[in-house]
Structure 1
Amino acid sequence: MGEKKGIIIAGAIIGILSVALVKLGNPVNMGFCIACFIRDIAGAVGLHRAAVVQYIRPEVIGLVIGAFGMAMFSKEFNSKGGSSPITRFFLGMVVMIGALVFLGCPMRMVLRLAGGDLNAIFGIGGFAAGILLGIAFLNKGFSLKRSYKLSSMEGFMFPAMAAAVFVLLVAAPAFIFFSENGPGAMHAPIFISLAVGLLVGALSQKTRLCMVGGIRDIVMFKDSYLLSGFLSILVFATIGNVALGYFNVGFEGQPVAHSDALWNFMGMLLAGWGSVLLGGCPLRQLILAGEGNTDSAVAVMGMLVGAAFAHNFGLASSPKGPTPNGKIAVIMLLVTVLVIAFGNIQRTSVSKSKGDVKVG
């Protein structure tokens, strides 16, 4: 009970801080969005040229370094990797593309609902369906095989890269792109965003917060610990939105969202299924990367490239709705994930441990 109380408190803090970031300049219902923020970073470093979504988001950097700091403090830093890196990179791309068809990661899905955006309900339905598909393959023995102990230097690399990207944000050299309008131009002050990211990263590392894990654990173990954290985020972000006048119930005219129910569902179906096979949602992958898990770092790099693909090839949705290319991509990627899921069923069943899906 004490552990559950801790994750509920952490969720409350994260929910309130998410609304505070909106008040300080972030787009509405986007206090935190791992998919959107990684997409913005991809644009800032020139991997795509969608001018309205280019900005190095300090929140993402804070999440990684905050998780790193907490892991070091609690002696949980563990440098490991080598588990099916190409597959993990590809699944990272898949999760990102699915999220950008929906226009948000699992965290933003909750924050959109907390702001009154009822389109998020279809996203949640698709996300849950994708997790159920993933669980079916976990029960059949899906595994990306074991990871291996690596040198500490290997685990330090991703947090160091995050710190280097923050230097680029502050220095703002000419080769870094910054949106002059659109969502990319809307952001809270740099050091406040970084501080919030550090705190949320530390809290997420300590509590193992993960939307995928929450739904998975309810189904597989009847354990509500992880899900209670996201329910707390929903409740307290809703309270914050109501208090600040951001709460707007409906389907139409929601900020950075579209109202195509089918493709909201399908985009998050793809994201949910890919996340289960990776062993965690985009937020959890960032936190694990901060802890020294290079498998998760590879998945995050896949998300970065997936964001570039989504905008360079017209796969990402806009407030006008999903694109034809995006719809085709979702269908093709669902088939591909099915092949990956079948192709990685092992003869020995995977351990059904709570927390992150164990590989090997």
Structure 2
Amino acid sequence: MKEKNWLKSYGLIILTGIVVGIAALVLTAVGNPKNMGFCIACFERDIAGALGLHSAGKVQYMRPEIIGIVLGSMVAALAAKEFRARAGSSPAIRFVLGLFVMIGALVFLGCPLRMVIRLGGGDLTAVIGLLGFLAGILVGVVFLKKGFSLGRAYSVRKSEGFMLPGVMVVLLVLLVAAPQLLKFSEEGPGSMRAFWIISLVAGLVVGLLAQRSRLCMAGGLRDAFMLRDFTLLSGFLAIWITITIGNLIMGKYNLGMLSQPIAHTQHLWSFLGMALAGWGSILLGGCPLRQLILAGEGNGDSAVTVLGMVVGAAIAHNFGMAGNPDSVVDGVYKVGGTSTVGMVAVVLGFVVLAAISVTHLPGKENA
């Protein structure tokens, strides 16, 4: 009986983690940037660039993985009769939270999912990001225990729930049928991409499984700290282990801090960037991947959050807030990191998140 209960609780989430890990390895092998088989923040940034929302020429591409995740989640939710159009839980605040989660992630150079993928490639700079993410999660948990809430969502017309999936269909049509309307990077991470059908299928599979298993890094750590429930967290451990084993087998495991792909060694701001992303994810009720899944299930508030993240990516690159990777120029190792503007944005993000956290505690309804 205990074995059956264990399989019921952990089987699907671990399977999802393994599949996500394999998909990330395959996508990297067939064209995606190193240690970036999946990165929600990076790929939403690329989409913003493809639409001309920012002019950073190295990060512009309509990433099919994001489209696939949303549509895969929608299909899974419809099949399981879990598609429920709902909205009204502080959408404007969720937009702002999504914006700052994106800025924090781009200062670090990756979302929580890419953080785990980087760890699986031996990138020790990601350990600093993990520690920051944990710190941010703990701050968010403190406010959850005090009763933090953005309010309840209400049932709305189904058309509201289909809005973001519909947008994703339009973006896919543009990529396939009218690519001349989009911007494409000719160098840099945006130019490194798997064939679009492979990327789309990988996104669909991840979206399907993540919807069924509720995969979420922020939620996993939240449950571990608050409830001593490690179910969701086991999925990300499965991703980490799968990618580590895969990289070791393929001879691509590179343990260390220097010369890691699309990463920097400005450790303080890696820590603070992911702390901002972690805190914001807890207030939102899920990490960037989870927001895409919820949007696919018909959650209009999560759709607004996704739009906030896309706008956050555009702002980060238009104003030079995003981190820059370390590089080697003429044989000299050049340390990257974020700019002064990026540092100010992260500090401002903490101020905004603190204000939102305090004003949404019980008894602060009119704050």
Class of the TM-score when normalised by the shorter of the 2 chains: over 0.9
Q: Distance in 1 between matches of 2:16 and 2:182?
A: 34
Conserved 8 A contact 2:174-2:181: no
The CA RMSD measured in Å over matched residues stands at 1.1
| Partner of residue 107, structure 2 | 101
| Partner of residue 345, structure 1 | 361
2:125 to 119, 122, 125: 119
Higher alpha-carbon deviation: 172-181 or 65-74: 172-181
> What pairs up with 1:5-154 in 2 under 5 angstroms?
5-154=11-160
Q: Distance in 1 between matches of 2:248 and 2:339?
A: 33
Match of 1:263, SS state, is helix
TM superposition score normalised by structure 2: 0.94
Q: Distance in 2 between matches of 1:245 and 1:186?
A: 20
Higher alpha-carbon deviation: 252-261 or 38-47: 252-261
Q: Distance in 1 between matches of 2:146 and 2:9?
A: 31
Alpha-carbon deviation of 1:246?
1.7
Residue type of the partner of 2:69? L
Alpha-carbon deviation of 1:173?
3.9
Q: Distance in 1 between matches of 2:357 and 2:45?
A: 26
Match of 1:50, SS state, is coil
Q: Distance in 2 between matches of 1:139 and 1:116?
A: 35
Residue type of the partner of 2:154? Y
1:250 to 251, 256, 265: 256
Match of 1:174, SS state, is helix
Conserved 8 A contact 1:114-1:235: yes
| Partner of residue 349, structure 2 | 333
| Partner of residue 162, structure 1 | 168
> What pairs up with 1:160-199 in 2 under 5 angstroms?
160-199=166-205
Q: Deviation string for 1:127-165 (max 9, x for gaps)? A: 010010001111111110111101111111111111110
TM superposition score normalised by structure 1: 0.96
| Partner of residue 299, structure 1 | 305
Specify every segment of 5 or more residues in structure 1 that has no aligned partner in the other structure, as ranges. 349-360
Q: Distance in 1 between matches of 2:19 and 2:235?
A: 10
Match of 1:311, SS state, is helix
Q: Deviation string for 1:324-351 (max 9, x for gaps)? A: 1111110111011101110111249xxx
Q: Distance in 2 between matches of 1:86 and 1:27?
A: 33
Q: Distance in 1 between matches of 2:179 and 2:211?
A: 32
Residue type of the partner of 2:134? A
Q: Deviation string for 1:11-56 (max 9, x for gaps)? A: 1111111011000100000000000000000000000000000000
Specify every segment of 5 or more residues in structure 2 that has no aligned partner in the other structure, as ranges. 1-5, 326-335
Q: Distance in 2 between matches of 1:17 and 1:245?
A: 17
Q: Does residue 3 of structure 2 align to residue 3 of structure 1?
A: no
Q: Distance in 1 between matches of 2:25 and 2:339?
A: 30
Residue type of the partner of 1:128? L
Conserved 8 A contact 2:84-2:299: yes
Match of 2:162, SS state, is helix
1:324 to 337, 340, 347: 340
Match of 2:181, SS state, is coil
Q: Distance in 2 between matches of 1:203 and 1:306?
A: 27
Q: Does residue 303 of structure 2 align to residue 314 of structure 1?
A: no
Alpha-carbon deviation of 1:5?
1.6
Residue type of the partner of 1:264? S
Alpha-carbon deviation of 1:245?
2.0
Q: Distance in 1 between matches of 2:307 and 2:89?
A: 15
